[in-house]
Amino acid sequence: MSKGLLVLATHNKCKKKEYELLFKKFHIDIKGLSEFKRIPEFEEEGRTFKAIAIKKAQFASGLLGIPALADDSGLVVEALNGAPGILSARYAGESANDYQNNRKLLKEMRGKENRNATFVCSIAIAKPTGQVLTYTGKCSGIILNEPEGANGFGYDPLFYYPPLNKTFAQLLVEEKNRVSHRGQVMRKLKDDFENILIWLKDI
Protein backbone atom coordinates (compact mmCIF):
# COMPACT_ATOMS: atom_id res chain seq x y z
CA MET A 1 0.00 0.00 0.00
CA SER A 2 1.49 3.36 -1.03
CA LYS A 3 1.80 6.06 1.55
CA GLY A 4 -0.81 8.75 1.70
CA LEU A 5 -0.03 12.44 2.01
CA LEU A 6 -1.43 14.72 4.67
CA VAL A 7 -0.67 18.43 4.85
CA LEU A 8 -0.21 19.89 8.31
CA ALA A 9 -1.75 23.34 8.11
CA THR A 10 0.95 25.20 10.02
CA HIS A 11 4.38 26.75 9.55
CA ASN A 12 5.32 25.81 13.13
CA LYS A 13 8.30 23.42 12.91
CA CYS A 14 8.03 22.40 16.58
CA LYS A 15 4.43 21.38 16.08
CA LYS A 16 5.31 19.48 12.89
CA LYS A 17 8.01 17.57 14.79
CA GLU A 18 5.47 16.54 17.43
CA TYR A 19 3.09 15.25 14.78
CA GLU A 20 5.84 13.37 12.94
CA LEU A 21 6.74 11.56 16.16
CA LEU A 22 3.10 10.76 16.86
CA PHE A 23 2.49 9.63 13.28
CA LYS A 24 5.73 7.66 12.88
CA LYS A 25 3.94 4.30 12.99
CA PHE A 26 1.23 5.47 10.64
CA HIS A 27 1.32 4.78 6.89
CA ILE A 28 1.28 8.42 5.89
CA ASP A 29 3.65 11.27 5.04
CA ILE A 30 3.30 14.65 6.75
CA LYS A 31 4.24 17.93 5.08
CA GLY A 32 4.04 21.40 6.57
CA LEU A 33 2.90 24.52 4.77
CA SER A 34 6.52 25.71 4.59
CA GLU A 35 7.16 22.94 2.06
CA PHE A 36 4.76 24.55 -0.41
CA LYS A 37 5.22 27.81 -2.29
CA ARG A 38 2.99 30.87 -2.22
CA ILE A 39 0.70 29.88 0.62
CA PRO A 40 -1.37 32.93 1.65
CA GLU A 41 -1.89 33.72 5.31
CA PHE A 42 -4.99 32.24 6.88
CA GLU A 43 -7.18 34.60 8.85
CA GLU A 44 -8.51 32.71 11.84
CA GLU A 45 -12.28 32.73 12.20
CA GLY A 46 -14.40 31.08 14.86
CA ARG A 47 -15.20 31.29 18.54
CA THR A 48 -14.02 27.83 19.53
CA PHE A 49 -10.89 25.74 19.04
CA LYS A 50 -12.92 23.25 17.00
CA ALA A 51 -14.38 25.88 14.66
CA ILE A 52 -10.98 27.42 13.97
CA ALA A 53 -9.36 24.02 13.34
CA ILE A 54 -12.07 23.17 10.81
CA LYS A 55 -11.62 26.47 8.96
CA LYS A 56 -7.83 26.06 8.81
CA ALA A 57 -8.00 22.46 7.55
CA GLN A 58 -10.58 23.29 4.89
CA PHE A 59 -8.56 26.33 3.78
CA ALA A 60 -5.31 24.34 3.31
CA SER A 61 -6.98 21.33 1.73
CA GLY A 62 -9.04 23.41 -0.66
CA LEU A 63 -6.01 25.47 -1.67
CA LEU A 64 -3.63 22.55 -2.24
CA GLY A 65 -6.08 19.87 -3.32
CA ILE A 66 -4.63 17.50 -0.70
CA PRO A 67 -6.16 16.25 2.56
CA ALA A 68 -5.10 18.56 5.36
CA LEU A 69 -4.87 18.36 9.11
CA ALA A 70 -5.14 21.44 11.29
CA ASP A 71 -5.30 21.93 14.99
CA ASP A 72 -6.18 24.80 17.21
CA SER A 73 -5.12 24.61 20.78
CA GLY A 74 -4.79 26.87 23.73
CA LEU A 75 -4.88 27.38 27.43
CA VAL A 76 -8.12 27.87 29.33
CA VAL A 77 -7.62 29.35 32.80
CA GLU A 78 -10.50 29.20 35.27
CA ALA A 79 -9.59 32.36 37.20
CA LEU A 80 -9.42 34.35 33.96
CA ASN A 81 -12.88 33.29 32.75
CA GLY A 82 -11.37 31.01 30.12
CA ALA A 83 -8.65 33.35 28.87
CA PRO A 84 -6.35 33.27 27.03
CA GLY A 85 -8.48 30.68 25.18
CA ILE A 86 -8.55 30.99 21.38
CA LEU A 87 -6.25 34.01 21.72
CA SER A 88 -3.53 31.93 23.40
CA ALA A 89 -0.97 32.41 20.62
CA ARG A 90 -1.42 36.18 20.59
CA TYR A 91 -2.44 36.86 24.18
CA ALA A 92 0.06 39.70 24.54
CA GLY A 93 -0.55 41.04 21.01
CA GLU A 94 -0.64 39.94 17.38
CA SER A 95 3.15 39.61 17.11
CA ALA A 96 3.74 38.39 20.67
CA ASN A 97 6.24 35.60 21.32
CA ASP A 98 6.06 32.85 23.93
CA TYR A 99 7.97 34.89 26.51
CA GLN A 100 5.62 37.86 26.17
CA ASN A 101 2.52 35.67 26.37
CA ASN A 102 3.83 33.91 29.46
CA ARG A 103 4.73 37.20 31.09
CA LYS A 104 1.22 38.56 30.50
CA LEU A 105 -0.33 35.39 31.90
CA LEU A 106 1.76 35.69 35.06
CA LYS A 107 0.72 39.32 35.41
CA GLU A 108 -2.97 38.46 35.05
CA MET A 109 -2.63 35.63 37.57
CA ARG A 110 -1.11 37.73 40.34
CA GLY A 111 -3.07 37.26 43.55
CA LYS A 112 -5.28 34.53 42.08
CA GLU A 113 -5.81 31.60 44.44
CA ASN A 114 -7.45 29.42 41.80
CA ARG A 115 -4.58 28.29 39.57
CA ASN A 116 -6.52 25.56 37.70
CA ALA A 117 -6.10 25.49 33.94
CA THR A 118 -6.79 23.19 31.02
CA PHE A 119 -4.96 22.76 27.75
CA VAL A 120 -7.42 22.04 24.93
CA CYS A 121 -6.63 20.80 21.43
CA SER A 122 -9.10 20.31 18.61
CA ILE A 123 -7.99 18.64 15.40
CA ALA A 124 -9.74 18.70 12.05
CA ILE A 125 -8.91 16.62 8.99
CA ALA A 126 -10.41 17.98 5.81
CA LYS A 127 -10.67 16.75 2.24
CA PRO A 128 -10.54 19.09 -0.77
CA THR A 129 -14.28 18.45 -1.05
CA GLY A 130 -14.81 20.23 2.27
CA GLN A 131 -15.72 17.11 4.26
CA VAL A 132 -14.16 17.06 7.71
CA LEU A 133 -13.48 14.86 10.73
CA THR A 134 -12.85 16.38 14.17
CA TYR A 135 -11.29 15.21 17.44
CA THR A 136 -10.69 16.97 20.77
CA GLY A 137 -8.40 16.34 23.74
CA LYS A 138 -7.96 18.06 27.09
CA CYS A 139 -5.34 18.03 29.85
CA SER A 140 -5.76 19.67 33.26
CA GLY A 141 -3.01 21.26 35.34
CA ILE A 142 -1.98 24.22 37.45
CA ILE A 143 -0.43 27.56 36.50
CA LEU A 144 2.81 28.18 38.41
CA ASN A 145 4.07 31.51 39.73
CA GLU A 146 7.21 31.28 37.60
CA PRO A 147 8.36 29.24 34.60
CA GLU A 148 10.17 25.93 35.03
CA GLY A 149 11.82 23.84 32.31
CA ALA A 150 13.36 24.53 28.91
CA ASN A 151 11.54 22.11 26.61
CA GLY A 152 8.29 22.51 24.70
CA PHE A 153 6.81 25.81 23.60
CA GLY A 154 3.98 28.21 24.36
CA TYR A 155 2.77 28.06 27.95
CA ASP A 156 4.54 24.76 28.70
CA PRO A 157 6.95 26.29 31.29
CA LEU A 158 4.03 27.55 33.39
CA PHE A 159 1.76 24.51 33.04
CA TYR A 160 2.39 22.15 35.95
CA TYR A 161 1.06 18.61 35.49
CA PRO A 162 0.48 17.07 38.97
CA PRO A 163 0.51 13.35 38.00
CA LEU A 164 4.13 13.65 36.82
CA ASN A 165 5.15 16.40 39.25
CA LYS A 166 6.61 18.42 36.37
CA THR A 167 5.73 21.22 34.00
CA PHE A 168 5.20 20.38 30.34
CA ALA A 169 8.51 22.16 29.67
CA GLN A 170 10.31 19.69 31.95
CA LEU A 171 9.07 16.69 29.99
CA LEU A 172 10.72 15.07 26.99
CA VAL A 173 8.65 15.23 23.80
CA GLU A 174 7.75 11.55 24.11
CA GLU A 175 6.67 12.02 27.74
CA LYS A 176 4.59 15.06 26.90
CA ASN A 177 2.87 13.26 24.02
CA ARG A 178 1.70 10.51 26.37
CA VAL A 179 -0.28 12.93 28.54
CA SER A 180 -0.86 16.15 26.63
CA HIS A 181 -4.06 17.39 25.07
CA ARG A 182 -2.55 16.89 21.61
CA GLY A 183 -1.28 13.44 22.53
CA GLN A 184 -4.77 12.43 23.64
CA VAL A 185 -6.21 13.57 20.33
CA MET A 186 -3.60 11.65 18.41
CA ARG A 187 -4.41 8.47 20.30
CA LYS A 188 -8.03 8.95 19.29
CA LEU A 189 -6.83 9.31 15.70
CA LYS A 190 -4.72 6.17 16.04
CA ASP A 191 -7.69 4.17 17.30
CA ASP A 192 -9.66 5.28 14.23
CA PHE A 193 -6.75 5.31 11.81
CA GLU A 194 -7.77 2.53 9.46
CA ASN A 195 -11.14 4.18 8.96
CA ILE A 196 -9.44 7.54 8.43
CA LEU A 197 -7.19 6.08 5.70
CA ILE A 198 -10.21 4.69 3.89
CA TRP A 199 -12.03 8.00 4.31
CA LEU A 200 -9.05 9.98 2.97
CA LYS A 201 -8.77 7.82 -0.14
CA ASP A 202 -12.41 8.34 -0.96
CA ILE A 203 -11.97 11.76 -2.59
Q: What is the CATH number of the domain that holds 37?
A: 3.90.950.10
Catalytic residue among 29, 72, 98, 192: 72
In the chain, % of residues over pLDDT 90: 65
Query: Cα(96)–Cα(92) distance, rounded to whole angstroms?
Result: 6
Lowest mean pLDDT among 65-79, 89-103, 147-161, 178-192: 178-192
What letter does residue 84 receive in the DSSP assignment? B
Q: What total of structural domains would you count in the chain?
A: 1
The verdict on whether 72 is a catalytic residue reads yes
Q: Which domain holds residue 35?
A: 4-201
| 148: nearest Cα among 140, 158, 138, 136 | 158
More confident residue, 154 or 19: 154
pLDDT, position 1: 42
pTM: 0.83
Sheet holding 166-167: strands in order across? 28-32, 4-8, 68-77, 116-126, 132-143, 159-161, 166-167
